[in-house]
Amino acid sequence: MLKRLSAACFAFIVFASSAFGEDKPRANPDNQVQYQRGRVVRVDPARNVIIVRVGENDQAREQEYTVGETTTYWSPERQQINDGLRYKGFREGTDVWYRMGTGNNARSISEMRFYDPSARPNNK
């Protein structure tokens, strides 16, 4: 009886932790690329590092990310930037939207935009 009860408790704990755990990435129902929003705190082109403030008010925190040769940058005019972190638009407080790398590059940025990619472009 005690063995059955122990086995049942163990099975419940395993099921509950796998069903409610947040360690698994959630599927994107629209199959769209997910961007994070932040504000530039500072950049260090010599070290290929950017510090971005993520969140608002009391929840805000600064995150340090690396960039690489394959990182792509997009201007507010939706044009590709070739200057990397030396681009003049990297000023403190500037809003940016970015995608993170995966696997070993999880602390790096693969793409950075100076406009909200979910917003429709202004066609003038």
Amino acid at the residue 114: F
Residue range(s) defining the domain that contains residue 94? 36-113
Asked if the structure places residue 48 within a domain, the reply is: yes
Measured from the Cβ of residue 104, the count of other Cβ atoms closer than 10 Å reads: 7
Measured from the Cβ of residue 37, the count of other Cβ atoms closer than 10 Å reads: 14
Euclidean distance between CA atoms 71 and 112, whole angstroms: 8
Using left for φ > 0, alpha for ψ between -120 and 50, and beta otherwise, residue 118 falls in: alpha
Render pLDDT for 54-107 as a digit per residue (tens, 0 to 9).
Answer: 998 888 999 999 999 999 999 999 999 999 999 999 999 999 999 998 878 888
Tokens of 66: 């690396």
Report the domain count for the chain.
1
Q: Residues 73, 87: contact at Cβ < 8 Å?
A: yes
CATH of the domain at 47: 2.40.50
With a threshold of 0.85, does the pTM exceed it?
Answer: no
